[in-house]
Structure 1
């Protein structure tokens, strides 16, 4: 029996449907070989592994991609249950992901038990069947090694893993599975009780059910319901009806029927169940959501790709209307439920039921409120968990209103009284327990969060766009704080300030660049740049570019290590910051690229030269004047963005020695550890010398772009932008025999950047992007 995550050398997944294939892909993303098995194909002329192999082939084409790199697919070995079940003996964990029928699952379990090595963990990905039903009548030796591991779809992107265990499980086995899921698969593991729907589906499905019922009863449009069940409460922008479209309308009746069979008749989930004739008809007509002809929303292609929504009363589709809630009541959930209008009534009816239900289940579905909050945030994409929302609404106010309406007040809601479910005591976050006592919110070993540091300290320095924090052991952390972490002159000032702080004495020794928000940085603040251009403040633009170049080269050649820790969007200037760091510790879901050409510009903070040097250093790169600039030109001119950290490595944005963290919560800890490791014998890099192809190389790039223009792929302004990029990457008038300094390359870069900023077509692109969020193809 494995005792640590490292012992899981190979994993078997049985069932190559959407979930099973996705789980197999995520195991492969972690660099672990995986055996994917399914039934034999119905057509006996096809290869016997056709079902599983077809699932892998499909995943290589789907978006969003299941594989972080196409090369990861090579780690998936396909086969059939009939032919290859014996290979389970080679595997250290078996995950079953077949149809939700106890009889079929148990039949498979008996076959698995006959061929597995003794002690090999077995788990089911079931979302509705209790564990005790699955192991009923099976050998005790099998039951002892059996758990439920409920992944959420899509497995690569959804961070939640619900794990259900029982008394017979060896704690070391459970620890091995949960550690593997955490460290290798990037999951936040929540231990659940063996109850129907576990945590997220039990509460989340009830929330959707209530929203649908109340919207129909109160005669709200689906746009109105989604506007209420959206931003004010921190719910995903899909709202409820958009989320059901995403999940699939046809899936809901199956979940509801399963839950009804397992829950007592007086459970709120059961009492809220009712057949809605409109939904029944939609499913029968094939309107099952995004995977069908549409759902509550659809795109009418015949009418010119018009987005439409269905009337909950009429059942007819009409053009979808954008809903703006009354400004006085729409900013927060608290102000919304206090409103006396139809939106306030709907908000209270749905949220009082959902939050009250969550509170009533503490102890039944999980031991504590933290597990429930984590499950809803990670499984349903809520920004706040149910108890965090109760704190925002005021626990006592909610309890009093429930009592006034003659509704039962859950025990834990009554116990918390005038208090809150979360509080901070002496810098320590605490949560309210079902026992009526506050307990410390402990982080797993290897997790370091800025939010915890901020409770115990003040920034070392800050301005309007960035802050510097002391994260211990002599390491400073620079975080961006502007909208979407956009970069400006103030950010560059903080880089200069961080350098000065570290070089001033012995207190600080290294720097980590990190943000705990969803995205690392979307790049430069285009709004400020556009404003400067509109008033012809070219000196300010030049100052911004020169200042950024100086700041980033400053940290590159500083006498201390700098580690960039990107996650999410890492675009333009955000990418350039990473390229200047000594090392990158990237979250697996990092989407990195030099995308400036999309807004009519080129990288202006040294990214061009840094990318050339990365390609030159690649073992796969042929020698000569053109190969490295050609690779850089290809990536930058097309605004190519890596769709994962693994792809960023393939694009040479991550180098040998750069590392990838699978679990987002572990990123800062890993980056800090990386910085401390680099301290031993640290020596700043030597400034590079460039040998670039010059005008002949620029001409070759121009001819290639002109070919794309003739094909209608490149626009006239694309040609202009590409010409400036080509001149920068080839060294302008330099010859390959000439040696260019880094500063000379920076000067060429800055001159071309300013030239493009003065071009009206570039300004039109910037303005269009700021207004619409989409690129302008001019």
Structure 2
């Protein structure tokens, strides 16, 4: 069998999903042909220009407008704006023949069977035999869609259901039709995980597949519980948000974002097509949803849903909430529960569930009912929607942003306790759960030798979850492979001579214990190993230095200690670069301030595509003090070319810090000079990141890694650059673009990046720049306005402009 490669795809339908899918294929370097229908009539602008329905610009209007709207939307569907060049647009009359040259055709037209069948009939006339063809349906049975198609079409046809927005949500459901070849399913499963960066889940051809069947059940059951328990929407959003490892938008805010009509469409589909479902009546919509649909209160797209933004008379805006009894909007009410207070000291979400279901207040009752009904429901969906329980957990984590799936939560509460929650509601779990318990098996999952095993129901034993061999899961190896631990880090042996140092502090902020741990990791690696990875699998790589600690020292005027702390940070970053072993840093999520500075000092960076990285210290009234200011001056110096306007190059790097620019993907970080072409790499699937970083460290060691020599040849421009910067900050302040304090910080940074007020361009050492950087940082911590900024960030979590 020849190897299948995907170089070109055709996406049919350019609505929100179609354009989003097209953008994500462009993200990973695939050429995309995006097609949509031809408009039937001219719009006013076209009439005014005297255009006709035959003009190309008119014939491609729908597809071009849809793609333009998608590219402008936020959050951005593309990793980098230039990737849009990989997408070609056209229409289904003039350009349909071009599908003969693509490797995969993805249909994303309106959810109507007759229209889909018509599209497939047209596509089959031009499709090359053997080409993959899939539908992004969210619920129409695959078996109905390929009726009347040729054998080759049916063998290469299945459902591939992306979740919206395709760049950000990781679930990729693959739904076989009656004739789909096994090799097609295997290929798509691997491609989704390796290239698209997804969690691929092969589902059965049942209504709403896995993710939406369980997800919509969860939301519908909450709708009914709200009424039954007399809860407010704020209370439910408080109970179903980050406290249980769900997105900040929790339940009702999520429905507003997704659109109530979308939710109703899927819920109605399940109600109509699953008459045998024991919770059939639950998919009936409560009265308040009917009213909202009649009023067109569909959420963000109509300007109001469960929440609504209003303008007050004084011009300020506020968000009001819907009262589900009166169906009128009112001021938001603060929700608080004693049970939630008890979880504040429990850092790990998985450890909170036991506490939550034992709560003595309304919250405890809510969780008991909510989890009890969810456990009963998911247990009975096997084998209807899938044979393997881990697929339900994978689907909920990847499609709905849950940190833990239903069976993982059940394990955390305890098998018997979960069964009790079900029984207390007058329900029963599926028979296989009772059989499993009777056989003395006490959990759905176990971990052995760094791999996760799930309870396989027909085999009645724990089997290894497939597809883990490309991953290193730190949670699974932390205990068995731990080499060293303190309150800030755990150092693990990744095998093959490579160590990993994993931050374990709150939000992975960098304080003394983390720095001590990183130094310890370098000591150990230099002595007994071949390389080091700095990586973790938290929500974010690191939000930066521990600013609470900096603020306390500055307020108490402990300047000697603060100076030592800053120097310790600088020295640690320099050790990352100048140790005798290769160091690979693996940033992902938010990688800000000090987290970014550590990344800048790696031998190589293996970044997740979703990395939001930048030097943001200006927001708290200081300049980067852990080597970031030095490094940007050094990188600017390395890009100076003969007869080049050196000042312009330096200014670009200066503005990266001065404007606190944060790249919104790893690819954008190349533009800001934080990642370097030819040296640093990007992985789309975050699950593969640690394994890839380990492989890069191993490769560098095998190639004969030599400790680099500290730089003494950094070209700085002195007075010439300083003068330009000072004139710039003066005019920025005069034009009210920046405050007086912003100007002071910018001038300090200018002094560092110019290498001081040297009379002519000179070559200096890194240490010289580090000393300037630290001096500037220290002097700013003596300023009242910097202290105000630090305090504001600690209390409010956002920057103060003073």
| 2:192 match: secondary structure | helix
Equivalents in 2 of 1:536, 1:204: separation in Å? 53
Equivalents in 1 of 2:505, 2:405: separation in Å? 25
Correspondence list, 1:632-711, <5 A: 632-655=653-676, 656-679=678-701, 680-688=703-711, 689-711=713-735
Query: Is the Cα–Cα contact under 8 Å of residues 640 and 646 in structure 2 kept in the other structure?
Result: no
Equivalents in 2 of 1:478, 1:456: separation in Å? 15
Per the TM alignment, residue 326 of structure 1 is displaced from its structure 2 partner at its CA by 1.3
Q: Is 1:334–2:346 an aligned residue pair?
A: no
Per the TM alignment, residue 427 of structure 1 is displaced from its structure 2 partner at its CA by 5.8
Residue in structure 2 matched with residue 601 of structure 1 by the alignment: 622
| 2:301 match: secondary structure | coil
Match of residue 363, structure 1, among 364, 369, 383: 383
Residue in structure 2 matched with residue 385 of structure 1 by the alignment: 405
Query: Is the Cα–Cα contact under 8 Å of residues 150 and 162 in structure 1 kept in the other structure?
Result: yes
Equivalents in 1 of 2:63, 2:501: separation in Å? 46
Equivalents in 1 of 2:574, 2:418: separation in Å? 55
Q: Is 1:395–2:405 an aligned residue pair?
A: no
Query: Is the Cα–Cα contact under 8 Å of residues 485 and 522 in structure 1 kept in the other structure?
Result: yes
Query: Is the Cα–Cα contact under 8 Å of residues 596 and 615 in structure 2 kept in the other structure?
Result: yes
Per the TM alignment, residue 161 of structure 1 is displaced from its structure 2 partner at its CA by 0.4
Query: Is the Cα–Cα contact under 8 Å of residues 39 and 82 in structure 1 kept in the other structure?
Result: yes
Per the TM alignment, residue 129 of structure 1 is displaced from its structure 2 partner at its CA by 0.9
Residue in structure 1 matched with residue 611 of structure 2 by the alignment: 590
CA deviations on 1:453-478 (whole Å, 9 max, x unpaired) are 224322x2222212221101111111
Residue in structure 2 matched with residue 489 of structure 1 by the alignment: 512
Residue in structure 1 matched with residue 196 of structure 2 by the alignment: 185
| 1:190 match: secondary structure | strand
CA gap of 1:751–1:360, structure 2 versus 1, over 3 A, is same
TM (normalized to structure 2)?
A: 0.93
CA gap of 1:50–1:619, structure 2 versus 1, over 3 A, is farther
CA gap of 1:736–1:358, structure 2 versus 1, over 3 A, is farther
Correspondence list, 1:247-258, <5 A: 247-258=258-269
Correspondence list, 1:76-475, <5 A: 76-166=87-177, 168-264=179-275, 266-302=276-312, 304-327=316-339, 331=343, 332-339=352-359, 341-403=361-423, 405-417=425-437, 419-425=442-448, 428-435=451-458, 436-458=460-482, 460-475=483-498
Residue in structure 1 matched with residue 51 of structure 2 by the alignment: none
Per the TM alignment, residue 714 of structure 1 is displaced from its structure 2 partner at its CA by 1.0
CA gap of 1:27–1:427, structure 2 versus 1, over 3 A, is closer
Equivalents in 2 of 1:605, 1:139: separation in Å? 64
Equivalents in 1 of 2:289, 2:312: separation in Å? 24
Higher mean C-alpha deviation, range 355-364 or range 607-616: 607-616
Counting matched residue pairs gives 772
Per the TM alignment, residue 401 of structure 1 is displaced from its structure 2 partner at its CA by 4.3
Residue in structure 2 matched with residue 480 of structure 1 by the alignment: 503
Correspondence list, 1:527-546, <5 A: 527-546=548-567
Higher mean C-alpha deviation, range 606-615 or range 534-543: 606-615
Residue in structure 2 matched with residue 510 of structure 1 by the alignment: 531
Equivalents in 1 of 2:327, 2:446: separation in Å? 47
Higher mean C-alpha deviation, range 725-734 or range 249-258: 249-258
Equivalents in 2 of 1:426, 1:75: separation in Å? 43
Equivalents in 2 of 1:659, 1:370: separation in Å? 31
Per the TM alignment, residue 373 of structure 1 is displaced from its structure 2 partner at its CA by 0.4
CA gap of 1:704–1:140, structure 2 versus 1, over 3 A, is same
Per the TM alignment, residue 262 of structure 1 is displaced from its structure 2 partner at its CA by 1.4
CA gap of 1:667–1:290, structure 2 versus 1, over 3 A, is same
| 1:60 match: secondary structure | helix
Per the TM alignment, residue 167 of structure 1 is displaced from its structure 2 partner at its CA by 5.4
CA deviations on 1:252-300 (whole Å, 9 max, x unpaired) are 2211222222112x41452113343332232333321122212111111
Equivalents in 2 of 1:167, 1:127: separation in Å? 18
Equivalents in 2 of 1:404, 1:284: separation in Å? 37
| 2:544 match: secondary structure | coil
Query: Is the Cα–Cα contact under 8 Å of residues 389 and 407 in structure 2 kept in the other structure?
Result: yes
CA deviations on 1:145-185 (whole Å, 9 max, x unpaired) are 10111001100000110111245323333233222222221
Per the TM alignment, residue 621 of structure 1 is displaced from its structure 2 partner at its CA by 10
Per the TM alignment, residue 670 of structure 1 is displaced from its structure 2 partner at its CA by 0.7
| 1:627 match: secondary structure | helix
Higher mean C-alpha deviation, range 549-558 or range 190-199: 549-558
Higher mean C-alpha deviation, range 601-610 or range 574-583: 601-610
Per the TM alignment, residue 631 of structure 1 is displaced from its structure 2 partner at its CA by 1.2
CA gap of 1:307–1:731, structure 2 versus 1, over 3 A, is same
Query: Is the Cα–Cα contact under 8 Å of residues 9 and 103 in structure 2 kept in the other structure?
Result: yes
| 2:29 match: secondary structure | coil
CA gap of 1:198–1:620, structure 2 versus 1, over 3 A, is farther
Ranges in structure 1 where 5+ consecutive residues have no aligned partner: none
Query: Is the Cα–Cα contact under 8 Å of residues 722 and 757 in structure 2 kept in the other structure?
Result: no
CA gap of 1:171–1:542, structure 2 versus 1, over 3 A, is same
Query: Is the Cα–Cα contact under 8 Å of residues 3 and 172 in structure 1 kept in the other structure?
Result: no
| Structure 1 vs Structure 2 CA RMSD | 2.0
Per the TM alignment, residue 404 of structure 1 is displaced from its structure 2 partner at its CA by 5.1
Equivalents in 2 of 1:493, 1:336: separation in Å? 35
TM (normalized to structure 1)?
A: 0.96
Equivalents in 1 of 2:699, 2:405: separation in Å? 37
Match of residue 767, structure 2, among 743, 750, 755: 743
Per the TM alignment, residue 562 of structure 1 is displaced from its structure 2 partner at its CA by 0.9
Query: Is the Cα–Cα contact under 8 Å of residues 447 and 476 in structure 2 kept in the other structure?
Result: no
CA gap of 1:153–1:427, structure 2 versus 1, over 3 A, is closer
Ranges in structure 2 where 5+ consecutive residues have no aligned partner: 47-56, 344-351
CA gap of 1:621–1:441, structure 2 versus 1, over 3 A, is farther
Query: Is the Cα–Cα contact under 8 Å of residues 235 and 382 in structure 1 kept in the other structure?
Result: yes
Per the TM alignment, residue 327 of structure 1 is displaced from its structure 2 partner at its CA by 3.6
CA gap of 1:616–1:16, structure 2 versus 1, over 3 A, is farther
Query: Is the Cα–Cα contact under 8 Å of residues 563 and 675 in structure 1 kept in the other structure?
Result: yes
Equivalents in 2 of 1:401, 1:738: separation in Å? 73
CA gap of 1:466–1:170, structure 2 versus 1, over 3 A, is same
Equivalents in 1 of 2:609, 2:389: separation in Å? 29
Per the TM alignment, residue 696 of structure 1 is displaced from its structure 2 partner at its CA by 3.0
Query: Is the Cα–Cα contact under 8 Å of residues 444 and 454 in structure 2 kept in the other structure?
Result: yes
Q: Is 1:553–2:577 an aligned residue pair?
A: no
Equivalents in 2 of 1:397, 1:554: separation in Å? 50
Higher mean C-alpha deviation, range 698-707 or range 220-229: 698-707
Higher mean C-alpha deviation, range 328-337 or range 251-260: 328-337
Per the TM alignment, residue 339 of structure 1 is displaced from its structure 2 partner at its CA by 4.0
CA gap of 1:758–1:404, structure 2 versus 1, over 3 A, is closer
Higher mean C-alpha deviation, range 449-458 or range 245-254: 449-458
Correspondence list, 1:42-81, <5 A: 42-44=40-42, 45=46, 46-81=57-92
Equivalents in 2 of 1:576, 1:49: separation in Å? 46
Per the TM alignment, residue 322 of structure 1 is displaced from its structure 2 partner at its CA by 1.8
